[in-house]
Copies of this chain bind each other. A is one copy, B any other.
Amino acid sequence: MVYNFNSGPSILPKEVFEQAATAITDFNNTGLSILEIGHRTDLFMSVLEEATALVKELMQLSAEKEVLFLHGGASTQFFQVPMNLLNEQAMAAYLDCGVWGIKPIKEARLFGKVEVVASSKDRNYTYIPKNFSVPADAAYFHYTTNNTIEGTQMHFIPDTQVPLVADMSSDILSTVIDFNRFSLIYAGAQKNIGAAGVNLLVVDKDILGKTNRKIPSMMDYRVHIENGSMLNTPPVFAIYVCLLTLRWLKKIGGIAAAEKVNNEKAALLYDTLDSLPVFRPTVAKEDRSKMNVVFIIEDPALEKDFLARCKQEQMVGIKGHRSVGGFRASLYNALPLKSVQVLTDIMKDFAFKNG
C-alpha cells in the first residue's frame, strides 16, 4: 500500500485506474483500445458528451455556460485568457499570491496592461490579501483560487464589478462554491478532474469576441465552442480519465460529499500539526489550503529523518516544492481519509521520539 500525497499529477480513485486500464485493452467491449478509436466516432463522442454533461451537473452550471476540454494545460491559459479577453490598450486586474499568480501576470503583460491589485509577496506568500479593490474599468479580474506551492487558498469569492477569471487547477470540484459567479474558469485536469494532458474550461460566451486582435484558431475560445472541443484531435484518453473521475465523484455524492471528507482530512492534518511543536504549518490560519498542506520542521536537522521515515512508511510526495522547501501533503478528492490518519500517526510518533 502506497500513500500518495503528490501535488499533481496526483492520486485518482482506484476504480478509475482499474477502468482506465480495462479501456486500454478493450474499450466498452469493442475489441479496440481507447487509444486506437477515432475521435469522431460515436464511441468517443459519447465520452465527450457525458464528461461535459457531468461537469455541468456537478458544478451546477447555469445553461449559458460553455464547457470545453482543451489541450495545453493551465499554463497555456495564462496567455490564452488575455489573448481572448484583453485589448492592447485595455487593463486587466490580477492578484499575486505566489508562483502560480506571477506566471499569468507575466503572460498577460504581452497582450495589454496589467494592474496587480494586491500581493502577499511581503510575507513570502503565506497569506491571502483581503480588502483589496478591483478597478471597475478592468477588462477582468484574474486570480488563483488555490496556491498549490505555497499552500494558501481563497476561502471567499472577491466582490467585483468586472468579469471574474480564475485558475482553479488545484481545488476545482473540492468545495461547493457558486461557479456561476465566474465568467471564465480554467483548470489543468491532473489534480481533481483526471490525468495530465487536458484542461477544463468553463466560459461565458458573452465575454468573448470583444478584442480586435487576430486570434489563431487553436487559441480562439469561440472556435472551440463552435467545434464542441473537437477543432482538432483532442487528447482522447485524458478526456476519458476525466469522465471516469467525474462519474466517481457523482457516485460518491458530488462535490458536497467530497468537501465533507476534504474538511475532515484537512482538519485532522492541521490539528495534528498545530498540536506538535516539532512541526509548523507556514500559512496564516484563515488562509490555509485544504488541498495542499505546507509545513516545516522547526529543527532543520530533523528534516532528513522525517523524509526517511515517510519513505519507509510508503509515503510519496511529501517533500515541499523545490522553490519553497519544507514539506507538503496534498489532499485532493481521491485521497482517502485513511492516508491522512496514517500520516498523522507517523507525525505523532516522530514528534514523540524527537520532541
CB within 8 Å of B: which residues of A? Answer: 1-2, 4, 6-12, 17-18, 20-22, 24-25, 30-33, 35-40, 71-76, 78-79, 83, 103, 106-107, 110, 188, 190, 195-198, 214, 216-219, 231-238, 241, 314, 316-317, 322
Contact = CB atoms under 8 A, between A and B. Distances in A.
14 contacts: A2-B32, A9-B35, A9-B233, A12-B36, A17-B33, A21-B22, A39-B196, A71-B197, A73-B233, A75-B232, A110-B216, A196-B236, A196-B237, A197-B235
Contacts of A20: 24, 35
A196 B234 contact: yes
Contact of A217 (B37, B71, B79, B314): B79
Contact of A75 (B17, B21, B231): B231
Contacts of A75: 217-218, 231-233
A107 B241 CA distance: 31
A30 B11 CA distance: 14
A234 B195 CA distance: 11
Contacts of A30: 2
| Shortest Cβ-Cβ A-B pairs, 3 listed | A197-B235, A79-B216, A75-B232
B238 A197 contact: yes
A188 B236 CA distance: 13
Contacts of A198: 197, 235
Contact of A233 (B4, B188, B316): B188
